[in-house]
Amino acid sequence: MEDVEKLVQATMCEIERVLNTKSAVGEPITVEGNTIIPLVSIGFGFGAGGGTGTNDKAEKGSGSGGGTGGGGGIKPVAVIAINKDGVHVAPVGGAANVMEKIGEVIGKAIEKRGDKKKENE
């Protein structure tokens, strides 16, 4: 049973190391004065168990066993765009849409920048 406890403890330490705010808030990407920060939703499940049989050698099935299992997923939810015009949040519908949304946000920011340059001329 002590082995199962050590296994669970080691697994939980690793999960704690991996699942933190840096996992949910991605690394900022800067393009032409526009900073894009991806946001994701992280879901995770974990289970562990163990059991011990009898120590009497006369009985069949004596011994012990244990195991752990887990699963998780990451889903993009939004991108934050920061530029000289302010901060904008654009929600994303799925993994395929992330790059599309980033492209849209950057495109709109560059378009606004071009419009402001025309106004100033």
pLDDT digits (tens, 9 = 90+) for 16-59: 777 766 767 778 888 888 898 888 888 878 777 777 777 666 66
Tell me if the pTM is above 0.95: no
- pLDDT one-digit tens code per residue, 37-49: 888 888 878 777 7
Determine contact, residues 11/46, Cβ cutoff 8 Å. yes
Range 39-74 burial, b when 16+ CB lie within 10 A, else e: ebeeeeeeebebeeeeeeeeeeeeeeebeeeeeeee
**DSSP designation for 25:** B
Per-residue model confidence (pLDDT) at position 118 = 62
Per-residue model confidence (pLDDT) at position 76 = 81
